[in-house]
Amino acid sequence: MLRVLIDMDEVIADTTGGMTRWYGKTFDGAIDFENMRKGGSLVKGFPEMHQPIVRQQLFEPGFFRNLPVMAGSRAVLEEMNRRYEIFVVSAATEFPNSLREKFDWMQEHFPFISWEQLVLCGSKKMMEGDYMIDDHSRHLKLFKGRSYLFTAPHNLNETEFERIRDWEHAASIFLK
């Protein structure tokens, strides 16, 4: 079976959605997706005075546990899991509170992905596979297989990698 390495944040977990929802409940400032795109970072889309607290939110208990599931990801990943060797690989060790939360989140939303298939890491450079789907080109650059950049507001300006726009698009590639 071909091996596919799939990222969590911005790929199967809607991190931008979770952050903007939290921000909207907490502050009045406007979120600027154009700045997110130009700055190449989720945090850059928020008013400058709030960027430190937005960044801090990534370290807070509960943030990752409560993220929405990315639209369409569950059904496509469930079918991909029958046809490919899937690993869900998340750069999580930067955010220690996220470790258990990401495990629990996977159990709740993707129960067909076993604990053997979950990888919580920092760097992904030692990961070997046939395909990698990730929203960060820094991970894709170090990957020797075929790389797909999963479209997220922060990476819209990048042109180096073939894109997957959303999970319908992923299905058209992997489940055709």
Residue 41 binding a second copy, by CB under 8 A: no
Q: 79 with 175: CB under 8 angstroms? A: yes
Give min distance, CB of 113 to a second copy, in A: 10
**Cα dihedral value 164, 148, 131, 105, nearest 10:** -70
Give min distance, CB of 95 to a second copy, in A: 9
Rounded distance, CA 140 to CA 105, Å? 24
Rounded distance, CA 60 to CA 68, Å? 16
| 151's tokens | 């479209």
28 an active-site residue? no
Residue 128 binding a second copy, by CB under 8 A: yes
Residue 99 binding a second copy, by CB under 8 A: yes
Give min distance, CB of 32 to a second copy, in A: 30
Active site residues: 7, 9
Where along the sequence are the contacts to a second copy (CB under 8 A)? 3, 5, 87, 92-94, 96-97, 99-100, 103-104, 114-123, 126-129
